[in-house]
Amino acid sequence: MATKPRFSTDEQPTVTASDNALETARRQLARAADCLEIEPGIRERLAYPDAVHEVTVPVERDDGSVDVFTGYRAQHDSIRGPYKGGLRYHPEVGRDECVGLAMWMTWKCAVMDLPFGGAKGGIVVDPKSLSDDETERLTRRFTQEIRDVIGPNTDIPAPDMGTDPETMAWLMDAYSMQEGETIPGVVTGKPPAVGGSRGREEAPGRSVAIVTRETCDYYDRPLEDVTVAVQGFGSVGANAARLLEEWGATVVAVSDVNGAIYDPDGLDVAAIPSHDEEPEAVTRYAAETDVTRLSNDELLVLDVDVLVPAAVGNVLTADNADDVRADLVVEGANGPTTVDADAILAERGIPVVPDILANAGGVTVSYFEWLQDINRRAWSLERVHDELESEMVTAWNAVREQRERRDVTWRDAAYVVALSRIAEAHDSRGLWP
Ligand code: GLU
């Protein structure tokens, strides 16, 4: 069985200390706090999560046997509103990773000026090793185990790697059944039939495209003249690639876990189903056309104008950052650039627009969904697109302004925007008791 059960000795992600999400998040916090001269007490508080819940999730397999998995929910900070962030089902989920990712959610919500704090959770499991029924039982039992610490006004989960709208519907149902009333606002990223927002699934990819468009424009590179390589053809990568193509860019390379495809004249990305729509679609497209096949590593160093790493974390590292030939990197995944790679890219003058801004469309439309749930009134897709466009452009402008004022990187500028809002809230509320 590929899945790692509860008492595996090998639960932690196989990354070095410097690439660990928590280490990275803390180092980024320290840099921004130095820039802003944040009060040491607030800075210290933000380096630690408010709480990390670790639970045991027993599940009956289809053959009648029982397996036991570990689940986490890390709650980092709630000074600006309820904890908010995704749930990931992945064999390398770990405590520190959840804390680091929860910290990123705190900054992401603050950079977007949403009334949320940050959380992240997940289960140490390979979702591909579970049948649909097993995934449903796992999700329902996990919901029961974390029920006391989530809720529409306390902590609101959402999809992340290995989870999808159906997972969120099971979570909402399990929570609501126990509470005795339908509470759609306990989770976002649900199917529209049960209180999900139109446009939520494509929102992270849409925000990556909006941020790429704004940044290219800023550097006087109209999208019509720009080539793009996108690593990852899941919901973030596929939606970003499709929109960028629609807006005039030439998408020359995309990839999935099996490898990349490249055509210097441009791929017909609209014709390639996303990984969620058809898992082997990139491979099939390669077989049916005469595009060049590359590895994922080769895609990252292609000579393109814009590189969008939208698959997993830690793909741009000290080993390949010197070879990156893109003029601009826009982070679609969470944490695709290690601290060392970030320094190398900055040194080489390659701007990196950070994840906490670029893919923040997901949590922003989650916020719209939460508002719709509370008000029991659905928005049109047009309204979701319009409001997302306006929120993204406002946040991008706030970051650009700090970047220019302080002469720092895009990442440092985004952290400065986020941290100044969080620190101000901590300062105003004070410490209790
Ligand atoms: N998992 C997504 C992220 O990393 C969305 C979180 C949310 O919508 O709460 O931003």
User: Is 365 part of any domain?
Assistant: no
Q: What are the distances in angstroms from CA 33 to CA 23, 45, 115, 424?
A: 15, 12, 21, 13
Same domain for 251 and 279, yes or no, is: yes
85 C-beta closer than 6 A to ligand 1? yes
* Residue after which a domain boundary falls, among 337, 358, 379: 358
Contacts of 274 (CB under 8 A, 6+ apart): 233, 234, 235, 237, 238, 239, 281
- Where are the extended beta strands (E) located within 42-190? 51-60, 66-77, 83-90, 118-124, 155-159
Closest among 399, 422, 415 to 117, alpha carbons compared: 422
CA of 127 to the centre of ligand 1 (A): 18
pLDDT more than 70, % of the chain: 96
Distance CA 272, CA 233 (A): 9
User: Is 50 part of any domain?
Assistant: yes
User: Is 228 part of any domain?
Assistant: yes
| Phi (first) and psi of residue 389, to 5 degrees | -55, -45
| Ligand 1 atom, smallest distance to 157 CA | 9
At 383-400, the pLDDT tens digits run 999 999 999 999 999 999
Is the predicted pLDDT of residue 250 greater than 50, yes or no?
yes
User: Is 165 part of any domain?
Assistant: yes
Catalogue the active-site residues: 120
362 C-beta closer than 6 A to ligand 1? yes
Mutate to test the pocket of ligand 1, among 366, 367, 388 (most ligand atoms within 8 A of CB): 366
Number of domains in the chain: 2
Residue 19 confidence class, pLDDT cut points 50, 70, 90: low
CA of 85 to the centre of ligand 1 (A): 5
Same domain for 160 and 212, yes or no, is: no
b/e code 77-106 from CB counts within 10 Å (16+ = b) = bbbbbbbbbbbbbbbbbbbbbbbbbbbbbb
3-state secondary structure of 215: helix
Is the predicted pLDDT of residue 307 greater than 70, yes or no?
yes
CATH code of the domain covering residue 123 = 3.40.50.10860
Q: What range defines the domain where residue 113 resides?
A: 9-185
Same domain for 121 and 227, yes or no, is: no
Which token pair is 146? 């974390």
Q: Peptide bond before 433: cis, by omega within 30 degrees of 0? A: yes
* Residue after which a domain boundary falls, among 324, 358, 392: 358
Same domain for 49 and 132, yes or no, is: yes
Q: Kindly report the protein residue whose alpha carbon is nearest to atom 8 of ligand 1.
A: 363
3-state secondary structure of 287: helix
Whole-model pTM? Answer: 0.93
Same domain for 140 and 259, yes or no, is: no
Is the predicted pLDDT of residue 348 greater than 50, yes or no?
yes
87 C-beta closer than 6 A to ligand 1? no
CATH code of the domain covering residue 349 = 3.40.50.720
Mutate to test the pocket of ligand 1, among 114, 120, 155, 160 (most ligand atoms within 8 A of CB): 160
188 C-beta closer than 6 A to ligand 1? yes
User: Is 82 part of any domain?
Assistant: yes
User: Mean pLDDT across the stretch 413-433?
Assistant: 93
User: Is 425 part of any domain?
Assistant: no
Residue 349 confidence class, pLDDT cut points 50, 70, 90: very high
363 C-beta closer than 6 A to ligand 1? yes
Q: Kindly report the protein residue whose alpha carbon is nearest to atom 9 of ligand 1.
A: 85
User: Is 135 part of any domain?
Assistant: yes
Report strand pairing: 227-231 vs 155-159.
unpaired
At 42-82, the pLDDT tens digits run 999 999 999 999 999 999 999 999 999 999 999 999 999 99
User: Is 364 part of any domain?
Assistant: no
Same domain for 164 and 235, yes or no, is: no
Rounded to whole angstroms, the maximal C-alpha distance in the chain is: 67
* Residue after which a domain boundary falls, among 310, 326, 358: 358
Q: What are the distances in angstroms from CA 230 to CA 227, 233, 284, 306?
A: 10, 8, 17, 8
